[in-house]
Every structure is written in structure tokens, then in C-alpha cells.
């Protein structure tokens, strides 16, 4: 650990001023400032506008100004600045983790980290890829958030607020070009009044990139991306008791290829995969496969209305969210066409309505309460085709040639919740907050799987069926219904030790909804597959205990939190070593640790900030873990993870940042920023194989900008990952590797972070 801090301090000494920490200042409309001191960051983590130092939870806030200045466009890029937040890609999903807890790669899972955009729940994992453009701020709330953010915020919540229309005309255009991977970004904003009491804001965004991997099989750079996004807002506020804001948004984002490497080959893997079957296992940003394609389309409509009733405020949030994704994944990740890809179609539609009543703030007793309803429909279809290449491999593999398994899943769900939270000021220094949320949810699901022979298939259907069963795949149809009730309480005690120092302690119970296993290839009642997962899995729960302090002085702010969270009935996704994943409530875990951050205004224009997090993760009961290659299973056929640390859970993570701005003429200023993000080592694969070990690292970034004093224009040079660290995000065993090598070889594939990038950014404002 000492080496990380030495590296960070050295980097700061060399680079001097740097980029602002995740808890950088919000725009002027969202902050107050002491002349020559720190700005107070305003957040809405408790559904009220409050100073960050007054909120008694572990929270980080990233301002829209910081996101724009560094050319960041998505949550994955932002996550490196927030300790204990990790966002990674897998072959078929995105994974958001807080304090080591995330959901597995199954479309039936709700997300352990709930994401909200302008008060609306964005629960599908792929929605975390949505471009973040013209943001007011991004708040990251760590630990269960049961009362105000609801079911599924069991590990935490990401609360995103976009900018609203303005009562004066304003606009901006920003362009960015990155040289190494030919990335191009262009976005524009136009805002202002349409008439008396009616204002509008329109945002447009476009991004392309060639990619940083070279696919030798397809002769192209990957991942190449093409992203488009547009958002419009209209605000109605005549100055009376009623005000409303209507938001419409549409996104279309495509990707061809993934930044995926094959590595860790053992046994005869490299011997078998030679010649026409060649697979490079060198860590060189070069790959051979038959491609990955993904296209996501998102449409959202939100009506947010406030009605003042006396001194109270009644808020209504009505929304429609429609999401579609189409993916083609070369699931053998090799240049030879063994598996012609998983062709995935996911269609999701969600209607939601929230009503809440809030008392005026600043009273002896403040409260907020409301009800929430959500209806959602999910349809998923996919199939994996075995290429005719198998016909030449001999028995039993030849029976797979030109066959496929077609899977179809349909789900409907209805959720209704009631919640209330109140804060009582016992004395001028002591406050007690208590709240609870009751959830009632019904789900119904149906999964069917069919085995289909193509025109080139030569084996009789019974033989094909038998070989599929050997791979834990069988034709079936299964359905079920689920009804769950949950009660999630919370209590928090705050004490103002001084005018600048607040102490707090809290307890909260969170719940993540149960559901149905979408991806399993076998029946739960199968007698031919060893211990298959159940079609239905139950909800998981967490009890979180936390204590901390928050200090906010004129020139320095400091936050510290200690936590311990116990998870029960963890929903896990277990790979069977072939092509099958089974879901079950199989685990219990405890996470505990310390999180600290600071900001300091050293002099005029000079700010230093940083954060560090220590995470202790332990499975307390997990006897059904997946074994890695050549690991000896227990009597139950699985490996015991009890007492072990979860994947992608580094003990230490954090950042150190410096930001310096100074005028150089009467009209021009220069801004110099540097930041360093660090992580200790971790295991990247869910099966905890040491071959997927990622060493600890420090990533440096910097920004040098020249701008007009009133920010009318700006030219900036931006560098990311200047230390050119090669970082493994995730890892998983190569599908069918042990089958094709007849148990004598194995390898891994994994997503790799982007290497060093250098970009120029131009901004004009009016």
C-alpha cells in the first residue's frame, strides 16, 4: 500500500496542479462559495437540496463541469474517480459494483446498484452505457439506500441529474479529437425562454472511435463505436404554485468489436489452437475472432411536476422508458467459426409513477413520504449456432455441426411501494432520522429452449440431442410466478459537534428483488445435468451499519465513513464449464471498510483533493462456487468460496488530484490539472482463478487549458492513462476450451482498459 501513496505523491509533485476530485464544485446554480474558500456542493441524495457536508451518508458527487472538461461521456469513465465504484464490461452485459457487490451476467437479475436519471429508475445493465451529456451532477451513494431510492439499491445508487432550461439564452459547442484511436466527439447545447414562463433546452451529441485492438481475422480496429444522443426539455413555471418539466430523450449507440484479449493459456491449448484454429494468447492488443456487434436504442419521456400546497410540496414523476438491444457475440472468442455467435435481442418497456409529499425544510420535524408504481415488460431471445466446422472434428463433435439452440424468454412485473422518512431535531445539535419502505412485487416469467438442426446437419436428432445434453443443454419449456413483500427500515443519528463538524451513525436494510433465470440451458428438474439451478430465485437482503464524520471549514473539507454490511441469499450466476450458467441463492457475504476523502483550497486558484477506500470482502457461506481449470471440487461437485474475497474487489482504491487556474493576461487564463487514480491488486474472474490476477496500478491523467476569463472559449489538451497501464477489467474461461482440448488445456479471455490517449478539446459558449 505504501508504494501507491509514494507514487501518487511523486506524481503530484512532478505535475503540480491537477484535475478536481469527484467531489468537485457543482455549477454556480448548484453551489455557494466563500470568497477564496471552497464551494459547497449541493446534492439531492435525500430528495431535498442539501449541502454535501450535511448529508449523513457516504456519498461522492461529480459535477457536470468536471465531466465536460475531461471529455468524459459515460459512467465507466467517471467511475475511476470514485473509490469503491467499479464499472466493467463483460461479453453480454455491463457490471456496476459498489463496495465489491454487483449483479451477475444474467438478464433476469435486477441491478445491485440502482441507477436513476432525473428521478427515474434505469434498471437494465446496458443503460449504464447511456451517454452522459449536459449533466448537472452525478451522485454516487454507497451502501443500501432503501427508503428514498427503493428496492434493488442494495449496494448503493447512482443518482444522475441533467441540466434544466434557463431563463436567459445560452449555448455551447464542444468538439474533441483523440489522436491514438481516432476518437471524435461533438456536442451542442441551446437553452433559453420560449415565452413568459416557458423555457426550453436542447442537447445533441455525436461520437465515433476506431478502437484500440486490432482484429487480424476481420482486419479492423476494435471497438469501433458510433453514438448519437438527443435530449429536449421544456419547463413551465408561471411563478404560481404549479411548475412542470417535460423531458424527451433518444439514444442510438453502436459498437463493433470488444477490447477483449485471450490470455493465460495452459496445457495443450496453444498446441490445439494453431494453424487455421490459431488464437493469439499474447497480451498485445491483437485478437482473432469473428466479431462482436451491439446496437442499443433508448427512448425516454419524463414529466416532473411540483405543486405547492401551503408550505408543502407535492411532486409527481411520470415516465416511460423503452429500450432495445441487438447483439451478436462470437462466444468462442476465436478466429475459427466454432460457435457462430450468440444472437441476442432484448426488448424492455417500463412505465413508472411516483407521488411524494415533502414538508418545508428547516423545521423541528421534517418529513417526506409517497407511493411508487412500476410496470415492466421484458422479452429476450437468443440462439447459439454450432458452425458446420464441427462436422470435420469427428465424433462426438460432428453431431453439433450446423445445429443451434433457440431460447426465448418473456417476463412481466408489477411493483408498488409506499415510503416515508422523517427527521426530528431533538436539540439544536442532535437530529434523528427514521424511515421505511414497503414493497410488493409480482413477476411472471416463461423460458423455452428448442434444439434446431440445419440443412447441413448429418446426425439423427436423438444423437444431436444426446450430445447437447452432454453440454448441459436440453430442449424444455418452463414458467413460473413470483410474489414478494419486503419491508426496509432505516435509522440515522446526527450530532453537530461544532459548527463545522458533524458526526453520524446509521442502520439500513436493503433488498434486491428475486426473479427468473433467463440464461440456463437446462430444466431445473433435469436428471442428466448435475445440480442445475432453479428457474426461480428469491430476493437477497443486506443489513448495513455505518458511522462517520463530515468536516466543512472555509478552506478544507474532510469526510470519513466506516461501514459493515452483511448480505444474505446472494444471487449468484455459476458457469458450468461448457456453455451453461445456472442461478441460485447460494451465498452470504460480509463487506466492511473505511472511506475517506478531502478537499483543500490551498491558495487562490489552487485546490487539492483526494480519496482513499479500504475494502474487506469475505464470502461467509458459499459452497457452490465454480471451480477453475484443474481445481479439485468438493463432494458436491463445486468449490467452496467461503472465507474468500470476491472478484474485482481490490483492498485499496483511491485518487489524488490537483487543480490550478490563474490569469495570464487581462482576458486569458490558464488551467492545469493532473489526477492519479490507483488500485491494489484483484482477481478479475468470477471463479477466482489466480491466472486472472491484476497487479496494483496507478493511472495518471492531465489537462492543460487556455481559456477566456469569462469562459467564452477554451482550448484544452487532455491526456488519460499517461502511464499506459494495461488493466484487466474482467476475465472468464474460454467457452468449450476444455471440451475441444479434451480436458488437456484451457485459457481465459477478458476486457482490457484503454491505453494511453491524447486528445484536443475546443469549446465555444454564448
More confident residue, 350 or 469: 350
In angstroms, the CA 650 to CA 696 distance is 9
pLDDT at res. 726: 96
Domain ranges of the chain: 2-765
Pick the range with the lowest mean pLDDT from 104-108, 180-184, 534-538, 626-630: 104-108
Find the mean pLDDT for residues 40-44.
87
Mean pLDDT of 383-402: 85
Quote the Cα angle for 605-83-721, to 5°: 70
Residues in the chain: 766
Alpha-carbon distance values, 701 to 98, 339, 578, 695 (Å): 23, 40, 41, 19
**Mean pLDDT, to the nearest integer, of 45-53?**
89
Cell of 134: 449536459
Per cent of the chain over pLDDT 70 is 93
The pLDDT value given to residue 271: 83
Query: What is the mean predicted confidence (pLDDT) over 712-733?
Result: 95
Q: ∠ CA(67), CA(72), CA(77), 5° rounding? A: 110
pLDDT at 34 over 50: no
Buried/exposed code over 461-474 (b: 16+ C-beta within 10 A; e: otherwise): eeebbebbbebbbb
Buried b (16+ CB within 10 A) or exposed e, 209-228: bbbbbbbebbeebbbbbebb
DSSP 27: P
Q: What confidence score (pLDDT) does residue 39 get?
A: 82
Q: How far is CA 161 from the centre of its chain?
A: 16
Q: Compute the distance between CA of residue 243 and CA of residue 306 in angstroms, rounded to an integer.
A: 5
Whether the bond into 396 is cis, omega within 30 of 0: yes
Check if the beta carbon of residue 23 is closer than 8 Å to that of residue 599: yes
Task: Provide the β-strand partners of residue 548.
Answer: 504, 561
Q: Is the pLDDT of residue 19 over 50?
A: no
Name the E strands within 118-241: 120-121, 135-142, 156-162, 170-178, 183-195, 198-209, 213-215, 220-222, 224-237
CA dihedral 26→28→30→33, nearest 10 degrees, is 90
Q: Count H helices and E strands in the chain, helices first.
A: 7, 42
Output the CATH code of domain 2-765.
2.40.170.20
B/e letters for 232-249, b = 16+ CB within 10 Å, e = fewer, are: bbbbebeeeeebebbbeb
The mean pLDDT of 14-43, rounded to a whole number, is 49
Average pLDDT, the chain: 90
Given pLDDT bands bounded at 50, 70 and 90, which one contains residue 7? very low
pLDDT of residue 2 exceeding 60: no
- What letter would DSSP give residue 28? G
Question: How does residue 526 score in pLDDT terms, banded at 50, 70 and 90?
Answer: low
CB under 8 Å to 467, separation ≥6 — which residues? 396, 397, 399, 400, 459
Assess contact for 259 and 730: CB atoms under 8 A.
Answer: no
* pLDDT for 15: 36
The CA–CA distances, whole Å, from 208 to 91, 291, 761 equal 21, 18, 15
**What span, in angstroms and rounded, lies between the C-alpha atoms of 570 and 542?**
9
CA distances from 197 to 138, 149, 164, 308, 368 (A): 28, 31, 14, 17, 28
Q: Which three cell numbers stand for residue 645?
A: 474475497
- Segment 656-681 mean pLDDT: 96
Residue 565 has pLDDT above 80, yes or no: yes
Nearest to 346 by CA among 294, 297, 381, 376: 381
pLDDT-derived band at 581 (thresholds 50, 70, 90) equals confident
Using the predicted structure, report yes or no on whether residue 339 has a pLDDT greater than 80.
Answer: no
Count of CB atoms situated within 10 Å of the CB of 560: 16
Q: What pLDDT is stored for residue 8 in this prediction? A: 40
pLDDT of 6 above 60: no
Average pLDDT for residues 620-649, to the nearest whole number?
92
CA nearest to 511, candidates 646, 375, 415: 415
- pLDDT at 455 exceeding the cut of 50: yes
Measured CA to CA, the distance from residue 315 to residue 390 in angstroms comes to 60
- The helix (run of H) or strand (run of E) holding residue 739 is helix 737-740
**Per-residue pLDDT at 333 exceeds 90:** no
Q: If DSSP states are collapsed to H, E and C, what string results for 691-709?
A: HHEECCEEEEEEEEEEEEC
Q: What is the pLDDT of residue 33?
A: 44
Q: Give the per-residue pLDDT at 528.
A: 56
CB 370 within 8 A of CB 389: no
Percentage, residues of the chain above pLDDT 90: 69
The pLDDT score that the predictor gives to residue 10 is 39
**What integer pLDDT is reported at residue 527 of this predicted model?**
61
Which phi-psi region, left, alpha or beta, contains residue 85 (left: φ > 0; alpha: ψ -120 to 50)? Answer: beta
Give the span between the Cα atoms of 657 and 316, in whole angstroms: 39
Q: Which of 20-24, 533-537, 544-548 has the lowest mean pLDDT?
A: 20-24
Convert the pLDDT of each residue in 115-132 to its tens digit: 999 999 999 988 988 889
The confidence score (pLDDT) of residue 531 equals 55
Query: Over the Cα atoms of the chain, what is R_g?
Result: 26
Query: Which of 213-217, 505-509, 589-593, 692-696 shows the lowest mean pLDDT across its residues?
Result: 213-217
Whether 510 and 544 have beta carbons less than 8 Å apart is answered as yes
Most confident of 15-19, 258-262, 361-365, 439-443: 439-443
What pLDDT was estimated at residue 30?
A: 43
Comparison of pLDDT for 33 and 145, the residue scoring more: 145
pLDDT of res. 141: 96
Say if residues 537 and 103 touch (Cβ distance below 8 Å).
no
Confidence check: pLDDT of 17 > 50: no
Q: Distance between CA atoms of 177 and 206, rounded to whole angstroms? A: 12
Q: Find, among 160, 153, 295, 178, the residue nearest to 231 by Cα.
A: 160
Closest CA to 99 of 81, 114, 84: 84
The residues, ordered by sequence, that sit 6+ positions from 525 with a Cβ below 8 Å of its Cβ are none
Nearest CA among 300, 292, 266, 303 for reference residue 281 = 266
What per-residue confidence (pLDDT) applies to 12?
37
171 class by beta-carbon count within 10 Å (0-12 exposed, 13-18 middle, 19+ buried): middle
Could you give the 3-state DSSP secondary structure of residue 758?
Answer: strand
Q: Beta-strand (E) ranges in 426-539?
A: 430-453, 476-496, 501-512, 515-516, 536-537
Q: What is the pLDDT of residue 332?
A: 77
Does 13 have pLDDT greater than 70?
Answer: no
List for the chain the helix, strand, coil content (%; round to 5): 10, 55, 35
Residue 287's alpha-carbon distances to 221, 279, 281, 290, in angstroms, are 10, 8, 8, 10
Decide which of 695 and 386 is more confident.
695
The CA dihedral of 317, 156, 752, 673, to the nearest 10 degrees, is 80
pLDDT at 92: 67
Given this model, what pLDDT does residue 579 score? 67
Q: 460: burial class by Cβ within 10 Å (0-12, 13-18, 19+)?
A: exposed
- Position 14 pLDDT exceeds 70: no
For residues 400-419, average pLDDT? 95
Interior CA angle at 582 toward 580 and 588, to 5°? Answer: 140
- What is residue 3's predicted lDDT score, i.e. its pLDDT? 46
DSSP code string of 657-676: EEEEEEESSSSEEEEEEEEE
Amino acid at each position: 500500500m505504501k508504494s501507491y501513496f509514494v507514487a501518487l505523491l511523486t506524481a503530484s509533485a512532478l505535475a503540480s496542479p491537477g484535475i478536481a476530485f469527484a467531489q468537485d464544485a457543482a455549477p454556480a446554480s448548484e453551489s455557494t462559495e466563500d470568497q477564496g474558500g471552497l464551494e459547497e456542493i449541493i446534492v439531492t441524495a435525500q430528495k431535498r437540496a442539501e449541502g454535501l457536508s450535511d448529508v449523513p451518508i457516504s456519498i461522492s458527487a461529480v459535477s457536470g463541469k468536471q465531466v465536460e472538461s475531461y471529455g468524459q461521456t459515460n459512467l465507466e469513465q467517471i467511475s475511476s474517480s470514485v473509490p469503491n465504484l467499479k464499472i466493467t464490461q463483460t461479453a453480454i452485459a455491463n457490471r456496476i459494483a459498489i463496495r465489491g457487490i454487483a449483479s451477475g451476467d444474467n438478464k433476469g437479475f435486477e441491478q445491485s446498484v440502482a441507477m436513476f436519471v432525473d428521478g427515474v429508475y434505469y434498471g437494465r445493465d446496458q443503460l449504464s452505457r447511456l451517454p452522459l451529456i449536459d449533466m448537472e451532477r452525478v451522485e454516487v451513494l454507497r451502501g443500501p439506500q432503501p427508503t428514498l431510492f427503493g428496492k434493488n439499491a442494495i449496494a448503493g445508487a447512482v443518482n444522475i441529474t441533467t441540466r434544466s432550461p434557463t431563463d436567459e439564452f445560452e449555448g455551447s459547442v464542444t468538439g474533441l479529437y483523440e489522436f491514438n484511436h481516432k476518437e471524435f466527439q461533438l456536442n451542442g447545447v441551446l437553452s433559453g425562454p420560449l415565452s413568459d414562463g416557458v423555457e426550453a433546452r436542447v442537447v445533441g451529441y455525436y461520437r465515433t472511435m476506431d478502437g484500440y485492438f486490432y482484429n487480424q481475422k476481420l482486419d479492423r480496429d476494435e471497438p469501433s463505436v458510433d453514438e448519437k444522443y438527443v435530449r429536449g426539455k421544456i419547463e413551465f413555471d408561471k411563478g404560481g404554485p404549479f411548475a412542470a418539466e417535460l423531458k424527451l430523450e433518444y439514444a442510438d449507440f453502436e459498437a463493433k468489436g470488444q477490447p477483449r484479449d485471450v490470455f493465460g493459456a495452459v496445457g495443450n491449448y496453444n498446441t490445439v489452437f494453431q494453424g487455421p484454429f490459431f488464437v493469439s494468447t499474447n497480451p498485445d492488443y491483437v485478437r482473432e475472432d469473428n466479431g462482436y456487434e451491439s446496437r442499443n436504442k433508448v427512448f425516454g419521456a419524463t414529466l416532473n411536476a411540483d405543486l405547492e400546497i401551503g408550505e408543502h410540496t407535492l411532486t409527481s414523476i411520470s415516465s416511460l422508458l423503452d429500450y432495445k438491444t441487438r447483439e451478436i457475440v462470437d462466444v468462442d472468442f476465436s478466429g475459427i467459426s466454432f460457435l457462430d455467435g450468440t444472437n441476442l435481442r432484448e426488448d424492455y418497456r417500463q412505465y413508472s409513477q411516483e407521488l411524494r409529499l415533502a414538508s418545508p425544510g428547516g423545521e423541528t420535524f421534517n418529513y417526506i413520504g409517497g407511493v411508487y408504481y412500476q410496470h415492466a415488460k421484458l422479452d429476450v431471445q437468443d440462439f447459439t449456432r454450432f458452425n458446420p466446422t464441427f462436422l470435420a472434428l469427428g465424433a462426438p463433435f460432428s453431431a453439433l455441426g450446423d445445429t443451434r439452440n433457440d431460447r426465448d424468454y418473456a417476463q412481466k412485473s408489477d411493483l408498488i411501494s409506499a415510503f416515508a422518512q422523517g427527521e426530528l431535531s431533538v436539540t439544536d445539535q442532535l437530529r434523528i432520522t427514521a424511515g421505511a419502505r414497503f414493497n410488493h412485487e409480482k413477476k411472471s416469467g416463461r423460458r423455452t429452449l428448442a434444439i434446431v438442426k440445419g440443412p447441413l446437419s448429418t446426425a439423427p436428432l436423438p444423437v444431436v440431442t444426446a450430445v447437447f445434453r452432454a453440454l448441459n443443454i436440453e430442449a424444455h419449456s418452463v414458467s413460473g410466478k413470483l410474489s414478494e413483500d419486503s419491508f426496509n427500515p432505516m435509522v440515522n443519528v446526527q450530532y453537530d459537534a461544532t459548527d463545522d463538524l458533524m458526526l453520524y451513525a446509521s442502520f439500513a436494510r436493503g433488498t434486491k428483488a428475486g426473479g427468473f433465470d433467463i440464461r440456463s440451458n437446462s430444466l431445473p428438474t433435469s436428471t442428466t445435468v448435475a445440480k442445475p439451478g432453479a428457474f426461480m430465485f428469491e430476493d437477497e437482503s443486506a443489513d448495513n451499519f455505518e458511522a462517520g464524520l463530515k468536516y466543512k471549514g472555509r478552506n478544507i473539507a474532510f469526510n470519513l465513513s466506516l461501514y459493515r454490511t452483511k448480505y444474505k441469499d446472494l444471487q449468484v450466476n455459476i458457469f458450468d464449464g461448457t456453455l451453461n450458467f445456472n442461478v441460485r441463492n447460494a451465498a452470504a457475504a460480509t463487506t466492511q471498510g473505511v472511506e475517506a476523502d478531502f478537499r483543500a483550497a490551498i491558495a487562490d486558484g489552487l485546490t487539492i483533493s483526494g480519496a482513499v477506500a479500504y475494502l474487506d470482502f469475505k464470502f461467509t457461506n458459499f459452497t457452490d462456487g465454480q471451480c477453475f481449470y484443474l481445481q479439485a471440487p468438493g463432494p458436491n461437485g463445486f468449490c467452496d468460496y467461503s472465507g474468500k474475497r470476491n472478484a474485482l474487489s481490490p483492498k485499496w482504491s483511491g485518487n489524488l488530484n490537483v487543480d490550478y487556474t490563474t490569469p495570464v493576461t487581462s482576458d486569458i487564463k490558464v488551467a492545469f490539472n493532473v489526477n492519479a487514480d490507483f488500485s491494489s491488486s484483484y482477481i478479475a474472474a468470477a471463479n477466482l482463478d489466480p491466472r486472472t490476477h491484476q497487479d496494483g496500478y496507478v493511472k495518471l491523467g492531465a489537462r492543460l487549458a487556455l481559456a477566456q476569463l469569462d469562459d467564452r472559449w477554451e482550448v484544452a489538451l487532455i491526456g488519460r492513462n499517461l502511464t499506459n497501464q494495461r488493466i484487466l477489467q474482467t476475465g472468464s474461461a474460454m467457452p468449450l476450451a476444455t471440451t475441444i482440448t479434451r480436458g488437456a488445456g484451457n485459457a481465459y479471455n477478458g476486457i482490457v482498459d484503454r491505453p494511453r490517449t491524447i486528445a484536443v478539446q475546443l469549446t465555444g459558449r454564448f
